[in-house]
Amino acid sequence: MTHVSIWGELATVEHELRFVDVGGVRTRVLRAGNDGPDLILLHGTGGHLEAYARDLAGLAADFRVTAYDMVGHGWSDTPDRPYTIDVLSDHLIGLMDALGIGRAHLSGESLGGWVVAWTAAHHPERVDRLVLNTPGNIANRPEVMARMRDSTMAAVRDPSDETVRRRVEFLFHHKEMVTDELVRLRQAVYTRPGFLQAITNTLVLQDPAVRKDYAWSPQWVSRVAAPTLLLWTEHDPTGGLDEADLLLGWLPDARLHVIADAGHWPQWEKVGEYLEAHRSFLLHGKDLS
């Protein structure tokens, strides 16, 4: 289906958008689907739940889907504290508690993948199956951290059409798929009062001195008992297949599926394959390879 707009994707999907109090953090949440197992979707650095706009209709047919803005992101509250991985994970667990979700499948893209993996390692009783969607920079390379930090800060400090478009295009292999609507949405987030401080609090994770306490490593990744699907792409700017191999060696129960002709947002560029990968793995324990 050709993408027209985010509202066009959601126009026929029965859904609820509301704000939920999670430990004092006003958290923006979208839920869709009434039957099936719970599936929670987590976006990436500086992102928001609309990252999944193209997938909600398809996923809601099989799952009770929850997408939300992580603390310090989108239109959720931005308390002034570093948003380290443990803080983001605690916010996820708090949201599950607030929504009455005991266990769920978790699927996270980029930073969201890091958060769901950490959650599965430290709260295994809350996680059924896990999808790590282009989780990025598993090798903790300083040059990747610097590129992420610099491009994001440039767009937040100067949220012009040009700089914000460049930041969103970073996510795509097919840059022509970046719509004016996506750029405007990011501009609206980036110009929220206090967002410069919020993104600074998020980007502490791109500081090697802070990152070392949460960095991808076999010490904690090997504790992830949940069956895991690594959803990689051929053109991810944050990490290649060599990094997927690292995770395959660290995770006790993992498999890899590679989506061709896509960048950091396969959920937007390759909707059909993204949906089928989730259905096959989360419902039947199979991958598409």
Q: Is 268 exposed, middle or buried (0-12, 13-18, 19+ CB in 10 A)?
A: buried
Mean pLDDT within 264-283: 97
Q: In this model, does residue 131 exceed pLDDT 90? A: yes
- Comparing CA positions, the residue from 215, 274, 275, 220 lying closest to residue 250 is 220
| Tokens describing residue 266 | 């396969």
Give pTM, 2 decimals. Answer: 0.97
Tens digit of each residue's pLDDT (9 = 90 or more) over 199-249 = 999 999 999 999 999 999 999 999 999 999 999 999 999 989 999 999 999
Q: In this model, does residue 287 exceed pLDDT 80? A: no
Q: In this model, does residue 1 exceed pLDDT 70? A: no
Q: Is the dihedral of CA 202, 208, 209, 215 positive or negative?
A: positive
The DSSP letter of residue 109 is E
Tens digit of each residue's pLDDT (9 = 90 or more) over 45-76 = 999 999 999 999 999 999 999 999 999 999 99
Q: At which residue do the structure tokens 């380290």 appear?
A: 84
Q: In this model, does residue 277 exceed pLDDT 70? A: yes
Please tell me the total number of residues recorded for the chain in this structure.
289
Q: At which residue do the structure tokens 């958290």 appear?
A: 27
Tens digit of each residue's pLDDT (9 = 90 or more) over 74-106 = 999 999 999 999 999 999 999 999 999 999 999
Beta bridge partners of 104: 127
- Tell me the three-class secondary structure of 223-275, residue by residue: CCCCCEEEEEECCCCCCCHHHHHHHHHHCCCEEEEEECCCCCCHHHHCHHHHH
Average pLDDT across the chain, whole number: 95
